[in-house]
Amino acid sequence: MSSKPLKQIHLAAHFPGVNNTTVWSDPAAGSHIDFDSFIHFARTAERAKFDFLFLAEGLRLREQGGEIYDLDVVGRPDTFTVLAALAAVTDRLGLTGTINSTFNEPYEVARQFATLDHLSEGRAAWNVVTSWDAFTGENFRRGGFLPREDRYSRAQEFLATATELFDSWDGSEIAADAGSGTFLRDARAGAFAHRGRHFDIEGRFNVPRSPQGRPVIFQAGDSEEGREFAAAGADAIFGRYGTLDAGREFYADVKGRLARHGRTHDQLKILPAATFVLGDTDAEAREIAHEVRRLQVSGQTAIKFLEHVWNRDLSAYDPDGPLPEIDPLVGENTIALGRASVRQFRDPLATARQWRELARAKNLSIRELVISATADQTFVGSAATIAESIDTLVQADAADGFILVPHITPGGLDGFADSVVPLLQERGVFRTEYEGTTLRDHLGLAVPTPASASASAPAPAPVS
Amino acid sequence: MSAPSSSPAPLHLAVALDGAGRHPAAWREPGARPDELFTARYWAGFAAEAEAGLLDFITFEDGLALQSSSPTGSDERTDRVRGRLDAVLTAARVAPLTRRIGLVPTVTATHTEPFHISKAIATLDHVSRGRAGLRIQVSELAHEARHFGRRTAPFADGELHAEAADHVEVVRRLWDSWEDDAEIRDVATGRFVDREKLHHIDFEGRHFSVRGPSITPRPPQGQPVVTASGAGEASYALIARSTEVGYVAAHDGDGPRAAVAAIRRAREATGLAADPLHLFGELTVFLDADAPAAAARLERLDALAGDPYVGDGAVFTGSAGQLADLLLERRAAGLSGFLLRPGVIAHDLPAITRTLVPELQRRGTFRRAYEADTLRGLLGLERPTNRYARPAA
Ligand SMILES: Cc1cc2nc3c(=O)[nH]c(=O)nc-3n(C[C@H](O)[C@H](O)[C@H](O)COP(=O)(O)O)c2cc1C
């Protein structure tokens, strides 16, 4: 063992969302819409001293084979509105909202995040996502005309523009001096002008600088462009890789990009999404995990999943029978709309070949194949085992912490808070009390200096 | 004052919250707390005060530009409140801290996405358990349009109001795009929702088309309460076609009566005459122990501001008794309630809740307890049936 000091772990909670991770048929599964569920979930996360609560976003109900997909949880509240309401029932917990940069405008989004940061006293974060598809676009004025290759150029300019708006107030403008009648010290507070390829806007931003200066910025893409985008400007990544090897590879790759952008290792936190199954013993946890997987992947779900790869109607196949002998349809995937997972399989013929081999070798039915080919739970075991795994992964630089996705709403986090968190605290790798009040405090991130003020600040080290 | 022999129908009362109050010098008054304008505490305190006064709802004013006294852009003044928080988020922030009062944030149709607005207000309704509304407004300001860069002013006559009506139509269809019982959790068939009860809305209009359905299930009220201010034919048409509550300036003389008649005529023309529509008088109030005290306070505020307050609507100065007289008299124009704009929120809101409300209660024209737990309930509006639901066979 090296004498490296122990890394402190960051933990966050993802409110269970709309995919087959959420086991809605469990009698313990409550509403995913009722505000009481959000209160319960957020208070559990805060009781456990988590860094933040995370909300994903989807802007169109999924459809498959021309019909609205009906097997998974459907429906979610508006991100900003529910986070603002949660700010009233929590004190310290960060509030991270996923907001798309394609189907929004910078002035409005910057305003909403600056407002959320004010109303939560410095707890707002923005997960910038770039879904661009025409299917989602059918719900918006812009429509779906943004080409895929432009999604990050728009996202980048969107974020840059929003940052210009956040920085248009430096925080010293409001005097509010009733005696002299000076409300503003600076008559030009909020002035901005941005000219670019995607946005050509100017005027006055109307929200004064918020407690964190600007929200914490998350990114959740995995492509080359996504990784560059994160390295250039994000404070944290909502990642995909929760295992040791894949995690270390991603971690090294993304952190390795920071220096080129004049940034240091600590300025970007890598927080993969992670599921977990907790039992009294490891054996019990494995048993529950197996059962949960079978609930997550029903026979129908397995067929629907296979259709994503095969890009054709497979409803005639028996989920308990062998994989289809026919090949996937290559080309634009038209069977499943609004599904990120579709894009994971860039070479469906190869995937089908691989899966057929695997199924033959292990004698797996369609359903069994899908269960084994799709994400297993990240952490399975007793509280001690899970605490140990999390700590090991973080100390090995596979992650800086995890965003936990329970499979039950809203009580799915309770056991983790009660049994795993105390063990991490005993190990000295997780806080027992919040040390600060803002999300930047929790994540150990500095408050950004507005561009206007940085003229007098020391220049960053030159990058060669 | 003695109670009239037959007690008149109860009045509805709402207050408009904006900055430190309607008067430009309001922020300089004792107790105005201008350094707290951007905190949740500030708004939560006033919401609690309004709720203690049993008011029907509060509106949260908003705009997508910095406040300005100049219609052409920023005025660069330093002696007035500048900057404000997003109204929908502010309403959501106070929702869990209140229980009965309606929450009506302002939304600018001209520059927003109806899809986003629909789910935001539906969510406000979910987090407040049925107390959400919205106040839809248009913006013809060229400098505000430049914050978005999608379109340029000037806009054609009536275009923005027609667009706002489309905006509301989309928002309403999206609220209905989930039937109330769409979520079935049918373990036997493995279906979480009944897809027959989720609906594409397929709206096609001049400025946008929206496919739907919403991502957010139908809100508790079915349709949160849509409101708008009226001044002129285009806005009357919007009120008539799209709202459950319209606001018109409660001037004295025949103005309000003419406005009410014009809106009612427009309502007939839309074929919605059978649906209830509240028309509220809009009034800025400076409320004190007596008329001279109120006039003196207004004078003092005007001196601080450097200009006499003209406002853009009706202005009242006087006592609670005088205001009660005025409200009961002006409602004869066909008004069922009033949206009061406190001149100085810190002063005039408590004056409304602690002197005007008891005065109206004494006269038997205001509630003594909340009689419903939704905003629709308070306004006597039924929960609408879903336009997409097939009637039970
Ligand atoms: C772990 C993870 C979570 C994501 N969550 C969302 C989400 O909630 N909403 C969304 O629109 N996109 C989501 N995405 C999609 C990405 O943010 C991104 O917009 C998309 O994948 C395209 O970027 P890429 O090609 O760089 O991956 C997620 C991606 C990852 C890897």
Contact of B83 with A127, CB cutoff 8 Å: no
The token duo for A233 is 């400007």
Tokens coding B306: 């450097």
CA–CA gap between residue A238 and residue A219 (Å, rounded): 6
Residue A51 region, left (φ>0) first, then alpha (ψ -120 to 50), else beta? alpha
B149–A203 C-beta distance less than 8 A: no
Q: Which residues, 6 or more positions from B69, have their beta carbon under 8 angstroms from its beta carbon? A: B24, B75, B77, B80
pLDDT of residue B258: 96
* Percentage of chain B lying above the pLDDT 70 cut: 97
Residue A459: strand, helix, or coil: coil
Question: Quick one: which H or E segment has residue B15?
Answer: strand B12-17
CA dist A451 and A459 (Å) reads: 12
Q: Rounded to the nearest 10 degrees, how much is the dihedral formed by the CA atoms of A454, A52, B130, B358? A: -60
Query: What is the pLDDT, as a whole number, of residue A2?
Result: 54
Complex ipTM tops 0.90: yes
> For residue range B152-196, what is the model confidence (pLDDT) as tens digits?
888 888 999 999 999 999 999 999 999 999 999 999 999 999 999
Residue B73 reports pLDDT greater than 70: yes
Task: Give the model confidence (pLDDT) of B195-209 as tens digits.
Answer: 999 999 999 999 999
CA separation for the pair B206, B161 (Å, rounded): 12
Quote the pLDDT of residue A343: 67
DSSP states of B39-92: SHHHHHHHHHHHHHTT-SEEEE---SS---SSTTS----SSS------HHHHHH
Task: Check CB contact under 8 Å for A207 and B84.
Answer: yes
Interface contact flag, B28 A178, Cβ < 8 Å: yes
In angstroms, the CA A159 to CA A109 distance is: 10
Q: Which residues of chain A have pLDDT under 70?
A: 1-3, 340-343, 451-464
The yes-or-no verdict on residue B86 having pLDDT over 50 is: yes
Q: Largest Cα–Cα distance of chain A, in whole Å?
A: 83
Confidence tier at B7 by pLDDT (50, 70, 90) = low
Q: Where are the alpha helices (DSSP H) in A72-150?
A: 79-87, 106-119, 134-137
Rg (CA), chain A: 23
Whether ligand 1 lies within 6 angstroms of the CB of A314 is answered as: no
CA dist B279 and B264 (Å) reads 10
CB contacts under 8 A, B 216-235 vs A, are: 216-217
CA-nearest residue for atom 30, ligand 1, is A220
Q: How far is B327 from chain A (nearest CA, A)?
A: 33
How far apart CA B184 and CA B196 sit, in angstroms, is: 11
- What's this model's pTM, rounded to 2 decimal places? 0.96
Rounded distance from Cα A193 to ligand 1 centre (Å) = 30
Picking from A75, A84, A181, the nearest residue to B28 by CB comes out as A181
* Phi, psi values for residue A114, rounded to 5°: -60, -40
Residues 253-272 (B) with a CB less than 8 A from some CB of A? none
With an 8 Å Cβ cutoff, is B215 touching chain A? Answer: yes
**For the segment B208-235, what is each residue's pLDDT rounded down to a tens digit?**
999 999 999 999 999 999 999 999 999 9
Token couple for A139 = 């719900």
Helices (H), B101-254: 114-128, 142-145, 159-176, 233-242
Contact B111 A35 (CB under 8 A): no
CB proximity B92 to A under 8 Å = yes
Window B:114-143, CB contacts with A under 8 Å: 115-116, 119-120, 122-124, 126-127, 129, 143
Question: CB–CB of B335/B365 below 8 Å?
Answer: no
Closest-CA residue to A373 (of A302, A325, A441, A292): A302
Preceding omega of A410 cis (within 30 degrees of 0) = yes
Residue of A nearest to B83 (CA): A206
Inter-residue contact B127 to A35 (CB < 8 Å): yes
pLDDT computed for residue A344 by the predictor: 73
Give the list of residues 6+ apart from residue B189 with CB closer than 8 angstroms, or none. none
Q: Which residue has the tokens 């931003």?
A: A205
Please answer whether residues A421 and A390 qualify as being in contact, where contact means their C-beta atoms are separated by less than 8 angstroms. Answer: no
Closest CB to B120: pick one of A78, A116, A118.
Answer: A78
Using alpha carbons, list the distances in angstroms from residue B39 to A116, A207, B170, B387.
10, 12, 33, 40
Q: How confident is the model at residue B3 (pLDDT cuts 50, 70, 90)?
A: very low
How many residues are present in chain B?
A: 393
Give the mutation candidate from A57, A99, A139, A177 for the B interface (greatest B CB count, under 10 A): A139
Query: Is B204 at the interface with chain A, CB within 8 A?
Result: no
Mean pLDDT of B244-251: 95
CB A83 within 8 A of CB A97: yes
According to DSSP, the β-strands at B133-137 and B102-108 are: parallel
Which residue's structure tokens are 């004078």? B299
Amino acid at A197: R
**The pLDDT of residue B289 is above 50:** yes
Flag if B89 and A84 touch (Cβ within 8 Å): yes
- Per DSSP, helices labelled H in A239-344 are 244-256, 282-296, 299-310
Q: What are phi and psi of B381, to 5 degrees?
A: -105, 135
Q: For ligand 1, is residue A102 a contact (CB within 6 Å)?
A: no
Output the pLDDT for position B339.
98
Instruction: State how far the Cα of A112 lies from the Cα of A107, in Å rounded to an integer.
Output: 9
Nearest to B128 by CA among A85, A79, A15: A85
Cβ(A340) – ligand 1 distance below 6 Å: yes
Please name the residues between 392 and 421 in chain A that touch chain B, using a CB distance below 8 Å. none
Residue B2 has pLDDT above 60, yes or no: no
What is the distance between the alpha carbons of residues B305 and A148, in angstroms, rounded to a whole number? Answer: 53
Give the alpha-carbon dihedral of B32, B35, B39, B40, to 10 degrees: -20
Q: Output the CA–CA distances (angstroms, integers) from residue A152 to A159, A255, A337, B362, in the order listed.
A: 10, 19, 21, 63
Of A130, A152, A241, A404, the residue with max ligand 1 atoms within 8 A of its CB, to mutate for a pocket test, comes to A130
pLDDT for A17: 87
Distance A56 CA to ligand 1 centre (A): 9
Burial annotation A142-161 (CB, 10 A radius, 16+ → b, else e): bebebeeebbbbbbbbbbbb
